[in-house]
Structures are given as C-alpha cells and as structure tokens.
Structure 1
Amino acid sequence: MQTAPKSDPKWLLWLDNLAIAAWGVLILKYWLNGKLRILIHPAYTWLCVAAAIGFLLVATWKSLQLWKRRRLPIVPQQHISLFPPGWSSALLLLAAFAGLVITPRPFTSQVALERGVTDALAITRVEPQSFRANLNPEDRSIIDWTRTLSVYPEPDAYAGDPVDVVGFVIHAPDLPENYFIVARFTITCCAADAYPVGLPVKLTDERQAYPPDTWVRVRGKILSAVLQDRRQVAILAEAIESVPEPENPYSY
C-alpha cells in the first residue's frame, strides 16, 4: 500500500536554502583568500566562482519564494531519499561551516610518501606544449626537470648540469641518511588527483638538519647516482637555504 506524500515542514526548505547559500559563500571565500588554488587547478577557477554565484542566486530566489508564500500551505511532494528529511541538507551545511572555520593546507611529505614520489611523469601526464627543452638547466623548476626526464631519462646526459630548484623536503625511508627528496605536488584537475614529483638531493651531512615539509631552495649540480637499485638523476647539493612556503605551493 502506497503512503500518501507528506508535506515537508517549512524549516526544512529553509535549511535547504541555507546549505546552498553556505556552499556559495565558502567557495567565494576560498577564491578571495587565495586558498581555492590549493584545491583546484587555476584553469577551473572561473567555473567554481560561477557555480558559487549560481548557488547564491538560487538560494536567494528560493528564499524569496518561501517568504512570499509563508502563510500558504506547502504543496506536498513525493521523492525518494536515502536519508530522513533534512539530513542531507544538514550534512552539507555542517561541511560548509567546517570549511569556513578550517583553513585548507597543502599536502605534506607524508601524503607524498603514501602516493609515491617519482622523478618523471607518466606518459599520460606529459604535456608537450608545456615541455620547454630550450630552458637553461639552472632555470628549470622541479616540474621542468621531471618533464625533461620523462622525455629522455638517461642520467648521464645531465651530469654536471647546474640546478636551482625550490620545493619541500621529504625523508624517504628507502634512501640513505645523506639524501632527501626535494619535491612539489602537481595538479591536473583538483587536489584529489595531485601527485608528488621530486629529485633526490645528496648532502654533505645527514638529512636531520632539514626537517620534513621544510621549504628549501637547493642549488647544485646533477649527478648520476644508483639509488633503489637503479641509476637515476640526483642533485649534488652545493647550497641549501630555507625559504617561505610559496603562495602557490603546487605546480601545474
């Protein structure tokens, strides 16, 4: 026997509007304070901002409709939901409030170790239009080096080339104590697909002097090293200095 549809209390409809508006405010806040770039590729910023404005317009329009009809009975609606009435909107609202209170942070070295650090991009991630082979070696960023190594991975071809890169420190457990990895996360679409790329750095002392997640500028020369049972490119460090975390910590 089919149950007759029941009308939703008006406060549930207001809760729906509040949840939609809260997400619009959250996205705009991240855009204005520069934190949106931690969550999504800059190419999609305009889409997020347009969606946020759309959320606010829809919430405003629906709220005006509710206010005009506040003394009229609500037309019963029948729909299928996995949650009791109001739960979905309440969860969305709580998530938005949490986002307003908690400041998003870039991924850490622990996340990099969990996702696996590489010194070359997978073939599906190499962007020929972004590959600039004519760059001087000392002008290459970490992502430029990884693109270069993706095209031609022979370590001896780069031996002696000068290096000047900025990234965060990773203590890889399978590297000797006089090595750390200087790395950056790169984003294809959003933070969900962010993956770390980096280069091993050979030190004159032990890596404990450079704590994980510290941002550093590494200057030195390329050498061919045998690490993890394979020959690969590494940086022979000549100077390492701490630097502030960049305003935009990711590469694209």
Structure 2
Amino acid sequence: MTFHFQQAFRAFILLAFTVLIIKLHMTGEITKLINPKYEGLSKTAAIIFLILFFIQITRIWSTKKTSSHSCNHDHEGSNCGHHHDHGNTPFSSKKFISYAIIVFPLLTGFFLPPKVLDSSIADKKGGMAILANKKQKASEESTETGEFDSSDPWLEEQPLTGENSTGETSFIEDNAIPDLEYKNLMSKEEYDQLIQHLSQTDRIVMDDTVFATYYDEMSYDLEKYKGKEIELTGFAYKEEGLEQDQLVLSRFLITHCVADASVIGFLSEIPGAANIEEDTWISATGVLDVTTFNGVELPIIKVTKWNIVDEPKEPYLYPISIKIL
C-alpha cells in the first residue's frame, strides 16, 4: 500500500471546510458573514464537502498496481498530452501557492472570530457621501416617475417579525404574517400594508424588521414625515463636516454577504454628541426634521431622549424578499 500525502491533505481541507461551516452555524456567527436567506445553501455546501471528503479518503492509499497505471493521455510530469494532476506528482512552488490560497480562509475562519462591521468600514464606504447619494438618487427617481417604484432593490429589504425596543409587538406581528423559515419574506399585499402603516402612524418605530424599508420610503418624501416622532437603534458614526452635537446613527445592510454591505442611517442631533465615542450603540427617540448636507436635503433626527445600549445580537439588517404568487 502506498500513502499519498497530497491526497490526504486534500481530504483534510474538505473536512476542515465542513467543520468550519458547521461551527459557524452552531455558534450563530454565520449571520455575521451571510444573509440568513442563504443559511440553507451553506448547510448544503457543508454536506457536499463532507461527501467529497469521504470520496477523497479512497484516494489516500493505493496498491502498486493502481499507482503505476498507464493511460493514453498525459499527466503532469509524464509523457502525455493533457496536463491535469492526480495528486501524485511532486510538490512544487505552484502547488504551494494554490494550497495556500485555499487554506487561508480556513485559518482566518478558525482563528479569527468574525468581526462586526463598524464605523471604520462605514468611513471607507463613503459614510455621509453614500447617504447623500442615496437620497439624491431617490429624489431623482421620484421626480421622474412621480411615484414610489416598487421594483427598486431598496424596497426589498428587511425581516418581517419581531418586537420594537419598547417591548411592544410590531405592526407586522399584529397583522399575523406567517412565521416563515426565512422571515424576510412577504407578499406584495403585506408590503403595501407596511407602507400604509408608515404613512398613517404618528410614531415611527424603526425595528430591524422595517428599518431600511422605512428609511427608503421616507427618503422619497421627507416633508411628508417631517415632525413625526421616531425611535431607532444604531451605532455612532462621525466624520468631518458634522457639527459638534451631530453624529450618524448607522446600521449595515447585508444583501448577500458582508462583502456587499452598505451603510444606512440618520443624521442625528444629540446633546453631548461630542462625548459619545464612535461605534457606541445608542437607542434614541426624537423628532424627524429636514436639513442640508453638502447641498443635499437629508432627514435629521432631533433627539429628545437617548441611552447607550449593548450591541444587538443581530447587528445587521437584511433585505426583504417579496413573494411572487
């Protein structure tokens, strides 16, 4: 029997990926990397890796007869025409680089815990410039069409069930939307009810379930919501150009994975903002108003009450998917 080290190493890599995905699911850290919508897909990937691992095990040992087989096509390092590698050719620098690229995410996955995106990432993504661009784009689309475009990607965002920060049952639960496996799923009728509720309420509660959807709707018509009371939770983000008593209460929206994360949030006027450190999570209540930043009208919250809170168990927001009936 001949032992093939490279084949054994490949089996180890397959097993390691399986264990890593299972670990992320068991610890709940998988949602710090991907949208929960894709949890089923990642579990399927773990199963596939495990199956491939068992198949790979059969290649670790071979008899002399099978290891010295002949073929009519060329293997790497032999006298044949095509150049694929069965894993038995000598180790080379090219192979080392290939293995290093594959092993790197395993090392980071096992030894570096997933880090929640923070204000430093918000700054690199553009911060207030991004928020202003989104508002400007929303205004242009509203002017061109004269109505709210339900096909816009920003309308397909957020989970559906949950409680607001005051412990009150949210509008969505009141309307008995089914408890689906993927909670960011709703019908067009349910979505329309959500928007109608926003238009009629005098107190806007920015639950994680509706944060981005409400944010987008309000961006289309700031005057319509001016003067309404609003409650939200977010982390503090600051940048040059803001007043001493201003900061941005921000959240990250994950569409597919952290690589496509986008920052959304509200410019907020808070007494003592200068003493609040960035990345501090704050629960705030205030009144919606309109201000101008770099020539663009933006919503601003004049905070009347706020307190520091712990980072939420689920710090990210996720898109709503509208069911096609």
Give yes or no for contact 2:222–2:290 (8 Å, CA) kept in 1: yes
TM value normalised by structure 2: 0.67
Residue 126 (structure 1) aligned to one of 154, 168, 174: 154
What is residue 5 of structure 2 aligned with on the other side?
11
Give yes or no for contact 2:290–2:300 (8 Å, CA) kept in 1: yes
Aligned to 2:277, the other structure's residue is in SS state coil
Give yes or no for contact 1:12–1:85 (8 Å, CA) kept in 2: no
How many aligned positions are there?
A: 241
Shift of 1:42: 0.9
- Distance in 1 (CA, whole Å) between partners of 2:123 and 2:22 is 32
Is 1:98 the counterpart of 2:135? The answer is no
> After the TM superposition, which of the residue ranges 93-102 and 160-169 deviates more from structure 2?
93-102
Shift of 1:161: 0.5
What is residue 95 of structure 2 aligned with on the other side?
85
Shift of 1:242: 1.0
Give yes or no for contact 1:163–1:219 (8 Å, CA) kept in 2: yes
Pairing of 1:181-196 with structure 2 (within 5 A):
181-196=248-263
What is residue 215 of structure 2 aligned with on the other side?
146
Amino acid corresponding to residue 113 of structure 1 in structure 2: D
CA separation of 1:63 and 1:240: change in aligned 2, threshold 3 A? same
Shift of 1:174: 2.0
How big is the alpha-carbon RMSD for the aligned residues of Structure 1 and Structure 2? 2.6
CA separation of 1:58 and 1:41: change in aligned 2, threshold 3 A? same
Instruction: Name structure 2 gaps, 5 residues minimum.
Output: 77-82, 86-91, 139-151, 157-187, 319-325
What is residue 114 of structure 1 aligned with on the other side?
124
Shift of 1:51: 0.3
Runs of 4+ in 1 over 6 A off after TM superposition: none
CA separation of 1:182 and 1:64: change in aligned 2, threshold 3 A? same
Give yes or no for contact 1:187–1:250 (8 Å, CA) kept in 2: yes
CA separation of 1:16 and 1:224: change in aligned 2, threshold 3 A? same
* Overall identity of the aligned pairs, in %: 22
Give yes or no for contact 1:22–1:97 (8 Å, CA) kept in 2: no
Shift of 1:97: 2.5
> After the TM superposition, which of the residue ranges 183-192 and 76-85 deviates more from structure 2?
76-85
Aligned to 1:84, the other structure's residue is in SS state helix
Give yes or no for contact 1:215–1:245 (8 Å, CA) kept in 2: yes
What is residue 177 of structure 1 aligned with on the other side?
244
What is residue 60 of structure 2 aligned with on the other side?
66
- Deviation string 1:10-33 (CA, Å, 9 cap, x unpaired) is 111111111121112111111111
Give yes or no for contact 1:158–1:222 (8 Å, CA) kept in 2: yes
- Distance in 1 (CA, whole Å) between partners of 2:38 and 2:105 is 22
Residue 39 (structure 1) aligned to one of 7, 13, 33: 33
TM value normalised by structure 1: 0.85
CA separation of 1:204 and 1:139: change in aligned 2, threshold 3 A? same
Amino acid corresponding to residue 232 of structure 1 in structure 2: L
What is residue 285 of structure 2 aligned with on the other side?
219
Instruction: Name structure 1 gaps, 5 residues minimum.
Output: 1-8
CA separation of 1:209 and 1:144: change in aligned 2, threshold 3 A? farther
